[in-house]
Homo-oligomer: A and B are copies of this chain.
C-alpha cells in the first residue's frame, strides 16, 4: 500500500518529504477516519514545526491521486478522510443528527447516464454522492429537513 503510493508520487513527479511520509503513514491506517486537525495534532510531537496547511495540501493531493476519499459534512469538526483500500468506488450516508458516516458499498448511478453526460460535451472526472438522513439510533428525532 505505502510502496504503491510512493511509486505513484514518483511517477507523477511529486516529492517524498518527511512531512508527506508521516501524513501518509498515518492516514492509510484502517481505523477511525481523521480530520486534518486531528492528523496535525497526532503528528505534532514528531513534527513540531509542521503547518496545518501542509496537512491540508497533502490530503488534497492524496485525494487527487485516488488514495483518499474526503467525507464532507460529517459531524461538526470538518471533513474526514478515508483511505481507499483497494475497494471499489462507493459512497457514504451521513446522519444529520450525530454526524456518523457509513459506507455504502454500491454506486447506484446508472452508468448509461454517465455516458449520456459525456456525449453532451463534458469530460467527466469524478462524482460525489452524499446521502443525508437519520441513522437507526437517531431516527426518533423528528426534525424535518425537507
The contact of A131 among B106, B124, B131, by CB within 8 Å, is B124
Q: Closest chain B residue to A93 by CB distance?
A: B122
Copies in the complex: 2
Interface size on A, residues (CB 8 A): 33
Contact yes or no, B113 A125, CB < 8 A: no
The contact of A123 among B64, B124, B130, B139, by CB within 8 Å, is B139
The contact of A122 among B117, B130, B133, by CB within 8 Å, is B133
If the complex has contacts A127-B129, A127-B130, A146-B64, are A121 and B104 also in contact, measured as CB distance less than 8 A? Answer: no
Interface set of A (CB-CB < 8 Å, partner B): 64, 66, 93, 95-96, 104, 106, 108-110, 113-114, 117, 121-136, 139, 144-146
